[in-house]
Amino acid sequence: MKRIARSLTATALVTLMGISALWWGTDGLQAFTAETARRTALLGSPRALPAVSLEDQDGRGFSLQDYRGRLLAVEFIYTRCPTLCRSLGMAFRQIRDHVPAAALGKDFALLSISFDTLRDDAASLRDYGRTYGADGKHWRIARVRSEAELKQLLKSFGVVVIDDGLGGFEHNAAIHLLDRDGRLVLISDIDEPLKFAESVAAWL
Amino acid sequence: MAMNRETHRVARIGLGALYLVMLTPAARTWLEATMTGHMLLQIPLLAAIGFAASRLLPERWQHGLLTTVGGAVPCVAMAIFASSYWMLPRALDAALASPLAEAGKFLSIPLFIGMPLALAWRRLSILGRGFVWSNFYSMLAVLGWLYIAAPVRVCNSYLVNEQVHAGWLMVKLALFLFTWWLASFFIGRQPAPREDESARTSGNASQTHLA
Amino acid sequence: MASHTYTPMPDQGAKASVLAYLVTVAVVLLLMMVFGLLMRMEQARVITMGASWFYELMTLHGAGMVGIAGLAGAAIMWHFLRQYVALSQGIFWANLFLFLIGVVMILAGVLLGHFHGAWTFLYPLPGKSMGMWSQGAAALFMGGLLVIGVGFVLLHLDIARALIVRYGSFARSLGWPQLFGHDDGNAPPPTVVASTMVTIVNIAGLVAGASILIMMLVNLYVPSFNIDPLLAKGMIYFFGHVFINATIYMAVIAVYEILPRYTQRPWKSNKVFLASWTASTLMVLFIFPHHLLMDFAFPEWFLIMGHVIGYMNAFPILVVTGYGALMIVYRSGIRWDMASMLLFLSLLGWAAGVMPAFIDGTIAVNYVMHNTLWVPGHFHTYLLLGTVGMLFGFMYYLGKPDEHTQDALLDRLAFWLFMVASLGFTLTFLFSGKESVPRRYAEHLPEWVPYDRIGALFALLVIAAVLVFIIRFLTRLGRAGRDYPRAPLAYAGTA
């Protein structure tokens, strides 16, 4: 009898701990993948980002912190990308066309950052910008100057870039929004640019 | 007895060495380079190390441990929960991204999956073992399907075709294990002679002799 | 050469658990028969309940009948197998308990949630109801099936355990040493062989069924996890066909166990018997593609396999059992009472029910016949006259007051009514099928209505007969649990 009671208590305890562990490990059964986890983690707790030196398609140096006081949409790309980055480019274009025109440049800007620091030079960044109609002012295409800073930046955004074995990369593509204090506040799917534009309008 | 102690010593050293080798950055990078290697090689190997290591503990300790934790049922429950956790794509990503999670993996899989199963296994009836097995391969098959059918890349650290590949491997493995398990019922063992007799006295429709 | 002589076996009363199974079966069976009658009356335009109700009743009728066929088979198998191996009483109760939970979930899903995607829950119908039922209703229905399946898996695992403890392996409990080697006459009794076969195929079928149910439940809530519809259909029919097939292989144990007691002749596990059960163990697993013959998207070899194995599997056990029964009965001086008559009738019903399936299993015929009432004609013949006949035979055997009691006139009338009405009922289906009346239609063309009316009338008569069987069984419930001789000795045999 005592043995059964002990077994029952232990099972109940293990079950309780097991369920709590799974609950904790999935943010309350919400996030089963690292990608959803990175998105839900932001809700209610914006994330500060490191100061890294960037360089735009015209070779001008700047940093994310220069955008303080404005909302900033950020995407990560590499210019030779044949798949996801194309959707990203189109999505960015749709967002730019759908936020209130008056806000563009003043209250809201867009920034595409390449993570292929080695191969994406100013010329390829310009090409990419031209393809999707980026004006180079309100929507800039940039690269990170140093490889170490790029790693730091990707880690802070939670973006993972891996070699696809075909000379390109696979990466978790999404659209990121930085608030007026330069903190990461929202990550959204690339196939819902209009919804993203609406949330930008709401933040304005 | 001495022979036994000697084999035990060799086995202990072998297991320890295997564990240490798996801990080296080279082995980790190699196994974790693909989802298949990570999920279907490294994790099962760690569980197997935990299982085998528990078997090497003195018989008395194994017994005492099992009694302390409350028998076979909580052990099986623990293994189920721990293995469910390590089936989360998120857990795989975390193990790659953070050394702390990686350390947690190397400790928790042998301790919370391999060991409880080893302790519980001898105590389980055929019915209990059947429950664990059928749970295991059906979970494996469903997880495999989830990986194949997932509309998104579930692990940021792995390529999307890698995930489909791992999914198919899981499905095939589950089918193989199921067939093997069913087949094991056909090989079986010697029938129990005592029950043989008691069943016979309770009646047998066609009793037969050689004419 | 091994010769078999009969050693008398005591007639055991049923455990309370077996009786609980049988009472559940009787209640659900009657209710489902009434649902069936209502469906026929709707098609016959005698009543008007509307298409939605028709399909809800059809879904319940299908799920309920498959469920109780399984339950009835399990009760018969468990009752007799207990004589040879040590089975767990707790697991047997647990299966009934899970079954009842599943039934409640299914009833709630259908009656409250209005799920009516048929018991075969073909993907993607449950998830794409066009607003006819909610996600929750579909989840309740499929969840209920899953719970029932888990119960049966537990039961079969326990049976597997018991068989292995007693015989060492499935190979031995299927009698392979005697089949492939020298027949020393020590092959396991037919009950053990049949139980082994059913355990093997049902574990495989139920695992496939549980997997597809879980996949569809995931898909229900996260639709982006798509399932290959052909894979889904294959898995569903693998599970469904194996499970419903297994019910008659369980129920036939009543024939193997009871007829020999009536004639004092042994049912032999000889080489032919063993070979046919072993062959069917394999073939039942590969026969389901005959449900998919119309799906031209399946690979051709797959359909041809279904076609060929469907032909081959139709016969071994049936022939062996039918021939065996004739050998046992022939000039044995058997005393015909309700139990022995129903069991004998059930073999005829099984044989008759296989024929339409055999015809439908031909690909060219299948194209035009499979979606007509021909197929319900087939499975109603073999389930109603076969499985249900075995069930009532078993019930009459358990409830028989003593060896010498003569059956009342009412019972004997009910037997003949059951036989005639069941034949009439199933022949109406078959004839409608021949006339190309589609199956699963709530509303019928005026030309078909006369057949529907005849069918409804026969259905009503079947229910009347069954009512007599069930009431008789319920009044004898107290006796059914006691151990005493039931089977009457045969008249002096002339063989």
Q: What is the pLDDT of residue B199?
A: 41
The average confidence (pLDDT) of chain A is 88
For residues B208 and C4, the answer to whether their CB atoms sit within 8 Å is yes
Tell me how far the alpha carbon of residue B153 is from its chain's centroid: 27
For residue B204, the model assigns a pLDDT of: 39
Do the Cβ atoms of A170 and B81 come within 8 Å? Answer: no
| Beta strands A53-56; A61-63: pairing state | antiparallel
Of A10, A26, A31, the CB nearest to B70: A10
C122 near C233, Cβ under 8 Å?
yes
Q: What would the pLDDT profile of A137-194 be if each residue is shown by its tens digit?
A: 899 999 998 889 999 999 899 898 988 888 888 888 889 999 999 899 999 888 888 8
Q: Within C222-337, where are the H helices?
A: 229-251, 253-263, 271-284, 300-313, 316-329
Displacement of CA C422 from its chain's centroid (Å): 16
* Alpha-carbon gap, residue C175 to C274, rounded angstroms: 6
With CB atoms and an 8 Å threshold, state whether B156 touches A25: no
pLDDT of residue B137: 86
Which among B153, B155, B158 is the top mutation candidate for probing chain A, defined by the most A β-carbons within 10 Å of its own β-carbon?
Answer: B153
- The dihedrals phi and psi of A113, each to the nearest 5 degrees, come to -115, 125
Read off the pLDDT of each residue in A100-115 and give the average, rounded to a whole number: 90
Q: Which residues in C94-132 are b (16+ Cβ under 10 Å) and which e?
A: bbbebbbbbbebbbbbbeebbbbbbbbbebebbbebeee
- What are the boundaries of each domain within chain B? 1-60+69-87+94-124, 125-186
- pLDDT for B211 equals 29
Give me the residue spans of the domains in chain A.
2-30, 41-203
Omega before C124 cis (within 30°)?
yes
**Which residue is listed with tokens 């998104």?**
B152
Cα C397 from chain centre: 19
* pLDDT value at residue C115: 96
Sort out which chain B residues have CB atoms less than 8 A from A34's CB and list them: 89-90, 93-94, 97, 155-157
Q: How far apart are the first and last CA of chain C?
A: 21
Higher confidence at residue A100 or residue C59? C59
C-alpha A25/C-alpha B85 separation (Å) is: 8
> Is residue A129 within 8 Å of residue A88, measured between CB atoms?
no
Looking at chain B, which subunits does it touch, using at least 3 CB pairs closer than 8 Å as the criterion?
A: A, C
Nearest to B188 among C171, C190, C204 (CB): C171
Which one, of B143, B156, B176, B158, lies nearest residue B38 by Cα? Answer: B158
Strand ranges, E, within chain A: 53-56, 61-63, 71-77, 108-114, 139-144, 161-163, 169-171, 175-178, 184-188
| Closest residue on chain C to B141 (Cα) | C211
Enter the CATH code of domain A41-203.
Answer: 3.40.30.10
Task: Tell me whether A166 touches chain B (CB under 8 Å).
Answer: no
Distance from C-alpha of C21 to C-alpha of C18, rounded to nearest angstrom: 5
Q: Tell me how far apart the alpha carbons of residues C251 and C70 are, in angstroms, rounded to a whole number.
A: 9
Chain B residues in contact with A3 by the CB 8 A cut-off are: 71
What number is the ipTM of this complex?
Answer: 0.76
Chains C and B touch (3+ CB pairs under 8 A): yes
Structure confidence by residue, pLDDT tens digits, A20-30:
999 998 888 87
Using CB atoms, which chains have 3+ pairs under 8 A with A? B
Give which of C32, C67, C29, C253 is closest to C151, Cα–Cα.
C67
A16 has a chain B CB within 8 A of its CB: no
Q: Which residue of A has its CA nearest to B87?
A: A32
* pLDDT value of position A40: 82
The pLDDT of residue B208 is 35
Q: Which residues contact C159 (CB under 8 A, 6 or more apart)?
A: C77, C81, C85, C87, C195, C199
**C282/C209 Cα distance (integer angstroms):** 18
Residue A183: C-alpha distances to residues A52, A63, A203, C447, C486 (Å): 14, 13, 13, 74, 85
Structural domains of chain C in order of their starting residue, each with its CATH number:
16-480 (1.20.210.10)
Query: Strand (E) positions, C95-254?
Result: none
Give 10-residue mean pLDDT values along chain C (495 residues).
Answer: 66 94 97 96 94 95 96 98 94 97 96 94 91 94 96 94 92 92 88 96 92 92 87 92 94 94 87 90 83 81 81 78 84 89 93 85 83 93 95 96 90 97 96 92 92 96 97 94 88 56
- Give the model confidence (pLDDT) of A60-87 as tens digits: 999 998 999 999 999 999 998 887 778 8
Which residues are A169's β-sheet partners?
A: A163
pTM of the model: 0.81
> pLDDT grade, residue A95 (50/70/90)?
very high
Query: What is the per-residue pLDDT for B197?
Result: 42
What is the distance, to the nearest Å, from the Cα of residue A167 to the centroid of all Cα atoms in its chain? 23
Residue A11 sits at the chain B interface (C-beta within 8 Å): yes
The first and second tokens of residue C13, run together, are: 């009363």
Match 């309700």 to its residue by tokens: C338
The pLDDT averaged over each successive group of 10 residues in chain B (211 residues) is 73 92 93 92 95 91 88 91 91 91 95 94 83 84 88 83 91 91 78 47 37 29
